[in-house]
């Protein structure tokens, strides 16, 4: 029953503040899933961090006139605040510029190298003829040699999803200044994907429970597997841990080679901070453990191909054979959960003026749960979805405030006003029993949807029970019963039934709306922590690890992490019987209604441009 569940959440890139599209795809859905799994009694480890390597950080640091470390520090802290503010319940949210991460990445590389899956080859590297500097892959654009689409990047074609080499592009140009790059010979290590294709295919064909589009896409990638460069000509990243290479500060590991190892290194860091250094193995080398990886659709390749290939080669499970290394038989992903995009074009945001919806601004004005609700009910789960202020205001006011907030408020208010406590019910009538049955059966319906990552279906059913409870109150008219002293027992029964349904709805909505759920818990006269909240802690880079090479992170550097004590929370995925006699208070309004004009204008910091 207490099966270990690893919730591995995509690592946000630390080159700027996050906008709501960034958190819609992976942030909120992964947290809904983790909270649900904890409520059903699973041993959850939810980990992530900021991804701080790669050329976009260098380009942004140049633009802002700061060092790349300063830039990474600033955006790491900003992103930590954004994600904690949203209530995302990470056990550890860290970063890729820790000494521990460098050491774990280097261990993975050495395992792959020792087992023969890293091929040293001379390849074509792009440089800018005007500056002589290396041109990052993703800053080169051209026509895709595989599908013929325009606008393919040097690292990947977004149209067909294939990974590319810049030298393969037809008519390549630099996105930085439009010039045609020059290609020069350079030595790199390539991951020998063809020798891992059979093992990858065997693993993928056992993934029948994946969303069909993700599985088909991943299987298709196997048709054209070539060795992929896992090192770059760049001076910012994890050193290549091989004699003769590690001290060369002009070559580092490819950012995607190291970013996916973050799931493992963050688990190891978490265990260290728990004071149980081997505890990470419960989720990684235990065959009973399951792992769910959450990401946007543009990152499927790295999770269904590159990361599993790294894991297979590390333990010698490809055509070249090899041995298991120090970290042992690491488990491959159980499930890759990808989402589509949340776009912002319908509100006519002026992107040229830099008007986007930043998480920080959004949280400051509206708080976390209205955004969590919108993402769950109208987010990009299966198709690209457009965010509009119009729809946000409508859903917040009609569904969240009028539907749910008002239900809690009027039910508790009437019980408080007439009884001062949860009343003792009399005999139940058929309509009382029907509502209670609907609410109790919803645990299975919503739970089934959540366990299959069907978040929209889950919240839609929970809100259906909210709607039926409102309809029950409208039909029973307790305000009329309250005027007739002879109906006092019937009034007690109706309010008791409604309170039980409210309690059930609150449990069903807890993974989605954890902040609101805590307040409903208190409004029902209950005490203590219902749904655990993340907290930010300042820590030192203090693990006893030995990364090697040039340009390592400084030992002892301080950084913020997100963590939390979620064990203390009471929320469980089951009905709590409401107890007659529980004292009630006059409730405070639960959810603020928004000015309808906001639908037309948007807020000042992200106005709708007419």
Q: Which residues are at the interface with Zn ion (CB under 5 A)?
A: 144, 146-147, 149, 157, 159-160
Minimum distance from residue 383 beta carbon to Zn ion (Å): 21
CA atoms of 304 and 307, how far apart (whole Å): 7
Minimum distance from residue 193 beta carbon to Zn ion (Å): 18
Residue 160 marked in a binding site: yes
Would you say the C-alpha torsion 53, 55, 61, 66 has a positive or negative sign?
A: positive
Minimum distance from residue 26 beta carbon to Zn ion (Å): 24
Cβ proximity to Zn ion, 23 vs 157, nearer residue: 157
Q: Check: CB of residue 19 under 8 Å from CB of residue 358.
A: yes
Q: Tell which residue, 403, 518, 380, 367, has the closest CA to residue 455.
A: 380
Cβ proximity to Zn ion, 158 vs 288, nearer residue: 158
Minimum distance from residue 140 beta carbon to Zn ion (Å): 14
Minimum distance from residue 158 beta carbon to Zn ion (Å): 8
Cβ proximity to Zn ion, 306 vs 337, nearer residue: 306
Helices (H), 162-294: 197-205, 212-221, 255-274, 281-284
Cβ proximity to Zn ion, 147 vs 170, nearer residue: 147
The first and second tokens of residue 312, run together, are 């297979």
Which of helix, strand or coil describes residue 521? helix
Minimum distance from residue 153 beta carbon to Zn ion (Å): 10
The first and second tokens of residue 538, run together, are 């300042």
Output phi, psi for 253, to 5 deg.
Answer: -70, 145
Cβ proximity to Zn ion, 149 vs 609, nearer residue: 149
Minimum distance from residue 301 beta carbon to Zn ion (Å): 12
β-pairing verdict for 152-153 and 118-127: unpaired
CA atoms of 394 and 372, how far apart (whole Å): 15
Residue 351 marked in a binding site: yes
Displacement of CA 81 from its chain's centroid (Å): 15
Cβ proximity to Zn ion, 147 vs 250, nearer residue: 147
Q: Check: CB of residue 294 under 8 Å from CB of residue 33.
A: yes
Looking at the chain, how many residues does it have?
610
Residue 157 marked in a binding site: yes
List all residues 6 or more positions away from 256 whose beta carbon is below 8 Å from its beta carbon: 302, 306
First vs last Cα of the chain: how many Å apart? 55
List all residues 6 or more positions away from 271 whose beta carbon is below 8 Å from its beta carbon: 277, 278, 279, 280
CA atoms of 134 and 188, how far apart (whole Å): 14
Cβ proximity to Zn ion, 3 vs 159, nearer residue: 159
Minimum distance from residue 145 beta carbon to Zn ion (Å): 8
Cβ proximity to Zn ion, 168 vs 432, nearer residue: 168
Cβ proximity to Zn ion, 118 vs 222, nearer residue: 222
List all residues 6 or more positions away from 79 whose beta carbon is below 8 Å from its beta carbon: 12, 14, 17, 18, 50
Minimum distance from residue 191 beta carbon to Zn ion (Å): 21
Which of helix, strand or coil describes residue 512? coil
Structure letter (DSSP) for residue 420 = S
Q: % helix / strand / coil in the chain, to the nearest 5? A: 45, 15, 40
Annotated binding site for Zn(2+): 144, 147, 157, 160
Known binding residues for ATP are 351
Q: Binding-site residues, please? A: 144, 147, 157, 160, 351
């Amino acid at each position: 029953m207490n099966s270990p569940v690893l919730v591995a959440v995509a690592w946000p890139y630390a080159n700027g503040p996050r906008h709501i599209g960034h958190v819609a795809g992976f942030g909120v859905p992964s947290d809904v899933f983790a909270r649900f799994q904890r409520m059903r009694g699973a041993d959850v480890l939810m980990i992530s961090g900021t991804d701080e390597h790669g050329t976009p950080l260098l380009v942004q640091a140049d633009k802002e006139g700061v060092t790349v470390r300063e830039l990474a520090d600033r955006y790491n802290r900003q992103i930590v605040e954004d994600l904690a503010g949203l209530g995302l319940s990470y056990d550890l949210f860290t970063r890729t510029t820790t000494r521990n991460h460098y050491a774990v990445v280097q261990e993975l590389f050495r395992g792959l190298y020792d087992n023969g899956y890293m091929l040293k080859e001379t390849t074509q590297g792009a440089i800018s003829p005007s500056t002589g500097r290396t041109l990052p892959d993703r800053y080169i654009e051209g026509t895709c040699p595989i599908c013929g689409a325009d606008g393919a990047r040097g690292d990947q074609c977004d149209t067909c999803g294939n990974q590319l080499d810049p030298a393969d592009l037809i008519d390549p140009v630099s996105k930085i200044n439009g010039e045609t790059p020059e290609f020069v010979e350079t030595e790199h290590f390539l991951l020998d994907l063809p020798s891992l294709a059979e093992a990858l295919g065997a693993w993928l064909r056992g993934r029948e429970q994946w969303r069909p589009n993700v599985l088909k896409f991943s299987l298709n990638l196997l048709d054209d597997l070539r060795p992929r460069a896992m090192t770059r000509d760049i001076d910012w990243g994890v050193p290549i841990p091989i004699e003769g290479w590690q001290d060369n500060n002009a070559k580092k590991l490819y950012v995607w080679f190291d970013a996916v190892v973050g799931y493992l290194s963050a688990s190891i860091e978490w265990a260290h901070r728990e004071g149980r250094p081997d505890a990470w193995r419960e989720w990684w080398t235990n065959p009973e453990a399951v792992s769910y990886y959450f990401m946007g659709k543009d990152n499927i390749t790295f999770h269904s191909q590159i990361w599993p290939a790294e894991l297979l080669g590390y333990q010698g499970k490809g055509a070249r054979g090899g041995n298991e290394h120090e970290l042992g038989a690491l488990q491959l992903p159980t499930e890759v959960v990808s989402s589509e995009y949340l776009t912002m074009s319908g509100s006519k945001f002026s992107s040229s003026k830099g008007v986007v919806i930043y998480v920080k601004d959004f949280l400051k004005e509206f708080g976390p749960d209205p955004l969590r609700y919108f993402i769950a009910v109208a987010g990009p789960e299966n198709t690209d979805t457009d965010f509009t202020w119009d729809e946000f205001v409508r859903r917040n006011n009609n569904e969240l405030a009028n539907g749910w907030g008002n239900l809690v408020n009027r039910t508790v208010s009437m019980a408080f006003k007439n009884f001062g406590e949860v009343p003792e019910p009399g005999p139940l009538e058929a309509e009382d029993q029907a509502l209670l049955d609907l609410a109790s059966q919803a645990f299975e319906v919503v739970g089934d949807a959540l366990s299959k990552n069907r978040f929209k279906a889950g919240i839609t059913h929970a809100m259906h029970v909210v709607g039926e409870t409102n309809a029950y109150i409208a039909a029973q008219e307790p305000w009329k019963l309250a005027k007739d002293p002879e109906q006092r027992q019937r009034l007690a029964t109706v309010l008791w039934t409604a309170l039980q349904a409210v309690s059930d709805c609150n449990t069903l909505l807890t993974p989605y709306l954890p902040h609101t759920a805590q307040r409903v818990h208190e409004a029902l006269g209950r005490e203590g922590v219902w749904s655990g909240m993340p907290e930010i802690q300042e820590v030192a880079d203090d693990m006893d690890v030995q990364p090697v090479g040039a340009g390592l992170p400084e030992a002892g550097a301080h950084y913020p992490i997100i963590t939390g004590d979620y064990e203390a929370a009471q929320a469980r995925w089951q009905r709590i019987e409401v107890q007659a006699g529980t004292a009630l208070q006059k409730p405070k309004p639960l959810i603020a209604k928004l000015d309808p004009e906001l639908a037309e204008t948007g807020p000042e910091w992200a106005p709708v441009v007419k």
